[in-house]
Amino acid sequence: MIPDKNMQHNQSALVLHSGGQDSTTCLFWALKNFKDVRTLCISYGQRHAQEVEIAQKIAATAGVPFQVLDASVISLLADNSLTNHSMIMDQEKPDNSYPNTFVPGRNLFFLTFAAVIARSHGIQNIVVGVSQADYSGYPDCRDTFIRSANATLNLAMDEQFIIHAPLMWLSKAETWALADQLGVLDIVKNETLTCYNGVPAAGCGHCPACKLRNEGLKQYQKSEQL
Ligand code: ZN
């Protein structure tokens, strides 16, 4: 049954949560901005099953409902190095293309799943931790894509979803600053998993995700000392 439209739509949010730095920061951002928050963790055959466990643990720490959705079909559609464990992961963005960590269509699938689930709970707000400021330039992390997906999902379901991407224009250092402002710097630093090699917290230190995360933290800490 679809919940009554008169319920407090604006007070509730669904956060797409992977257990990484960005989506965990978004989770605590949502807790500050909305009364009722729940998380959705999408499992799509990524290299490390412990991502799901970590996301679940963080949701428990935050005291919010946690849901995991099996979307492993995404990994059957096209090869990428996050789901195909025999591929060697690109360390840099190749010229004129995307690194093989790019999962084509991922955020469109994720937002569609999130919107359908949000609707079933009478939730209007969807929070996603994408950023176009500091990444490999994945097309589905860009602001225009998010706006377009928002319009499409509203039309597809005749709803008024609002997709929030609070990190869209933040550098990694600024994302660390946001975690600090929200009072969760230690949780994000110690509990999350961003590393492509599956090492939690500061990670392996040499994969592209670790480099971005650790350099951002260093930069933020340096700016704090000034
Ligand atoms: Zn790493």
Which parts of the chain sit beneath pLDDT 70? Answer: 1-9, 47-48, 79-85, 87, 89-97, 100-101, 134-136, 226
Distance 210 CA to ligand 1 centre (A): 4
pLDDT value of residue 2: 46
**How confident is the model at residue 225, as a pLDDT?**
81
pLDDT at 212: 92
Average pLDDT, the chain: 89
pLDDT at 75: 81
Other beta carbons within 10 angstroms of residue 76's beta carbon come to 10
Given this model, what pLDDT does residue 196 score?
Answer: 85
What is residue 104's predicted lDDT score, i.e. its pLDDT? 85
69 Cα: distance to centroid of ligand 1 (angstroms): 25
**pLDDT at position 73:** 87
Q: What is the predicted pLDDT for the residue at 161? A: 97
Closest of 85, 82, 15 to residue 55, by C-alpha: 15
CATH of domain 5-171: 3.40.50.620
For residues 91 and 211, the answer to whether their CB atoms sit within 8 Å is no
Domain ranges of the chain: 5-171
Angle formed at CA 174 by CA 168 and CA 10, multiple of 5 degrees = 50
Please give the pLDDT value at position 67: 97
Give the other-Cβ count within 10 Å of 149's Cβ. Answer: 22
Q: Find the 193 Cα to ligand 1 centroid distance in Å.
A: 9
DSSP label of 152: H
pLDDT of residue 81: 64
User: Ligand 1 centroid vs 122 CA: distance in angstroms?
Assistant: 38
Q: Which residue type sits at 173?
A: A
Q: What is the DSSP letter of 141?
A: G
Distance from residue 148's CA to the centre of ligand 1 (Å): 32
Which residues keep their CB under 5 angstroms from ion ligand 1? 195, 197, 203-204, 207, 210
Q: How far is the CA of 174 from the centre of ligand 1 (A)?
A: 20
Q: What's the CA-to-centroid distance between 3 and ligand 1, angstroms?
A: 42
The b/e string for 11-34 (b: 16+ C-beta within 10 A; e otherwise) is: ebbbbbbbbbbbbbbbbbbbbeeb
